[in-house]
A = this chain, B = another copy of it.
């Protein structure tokens, strides 16, 4: 039975999973989630993405990256060992907190008219982008010298930060890293239709 991904196409958190699947060369059935029809699959959280693989059901895009990388990926995507795991975890937390509350929130307000404090979100976004730019100034990838799930976790909302009106030319190392991700084998842009499989 193929992997199923319950998603909302426009969600950057869902795109993060489609990108990981594509980079790993995995296909999945993409299901546009409806709270009424897919209540059982979405579980109590009622959030997308949800990945179903056999008897396993996982919520949370970061958790899904961990699973896919470890289950289907080359070791470089999520190396074992205390230090590498922890270094990567730093950026999973960064994606869940600084990026969600910064670039993602700012773009949601500017682009989709969501409620929120734009000034605070832009301030957090600029701090997050500055920290990433500084970190990447002397690095090719976020950690370990190879692409990992840390890069996949941070990329989606960072690459769209310009849509919040942020001048990305202020972050040259970050811009180069975005370019490197976009030339990885298997890379798909957010807009690619059904790129990781058919849309159910």
| Interfacial residues, chain A to chain B (CB-CB below 8 A) | 44-45, 56, 58-60, 62-64, 66-67, 70-71, 80-83, 85-87, 89-90, 92-94, 96-97, 100-101, 131, 134-135
Check B58–A87 contact: CB distance below 8 A.
yes
- Chain B residues whose C-beta falls within 8 Å of the C-beta of A67 in the assembled complex: 82-83, 85-86
The complex places the Cα of A92 from the Cα of B89 at a distance, in Å, of 9
Name A's interface SS: helix
The 28 listed contacts between A and B (C-beta, < 8 Å) are A44-B131, A44-B134, A44-B135, A45-B131, A56-B83, A58-B87, A58-B90, A59-B90, A60-B93, A60-B94, A63-B86, A63-B89, A63-B90, A64-B86, A66-B89, A67-B82, A67-B86, A70-B81, A70-B82, A70-B85, A71-B82, A71-B83, A92-B93, A93-B96, A96-B96, A96-B97, A97-B97, A101-B101
Check A62/B93 contact, CB under 8 A, given A70-B86, A80-B80: yes
- Chain B residues whose C-beta falls within 8 Å of the C-beta of A93 in the assembled complex: 60, 62-63, 92, 96
Check B60–A90 contact: CB distance below 8 A.
yes
Check A63–B82 contact: CB distance below 8 A.
no
CB-nearest residue of chain B relative to A100?
Answer: B97
Q: How far is the CB of A102 from chain B (nearest CB, A)?
A: 13
The complex places the Cα of A86 from the Cα of B96 at a distance, in Å, of 15
Q: How far is the CB of A82 from chain B (nearest CB, A)?
A: 4
The complex places the Cα of A100 from the Cα of B124 at a distance, in Å, of 15
The complex places the Cα of A122 from the Cα of B97 at a distance, in Å, of 18
Check A62/B44 contact, CB under 8 A, given A96-B97, A100-B97: no
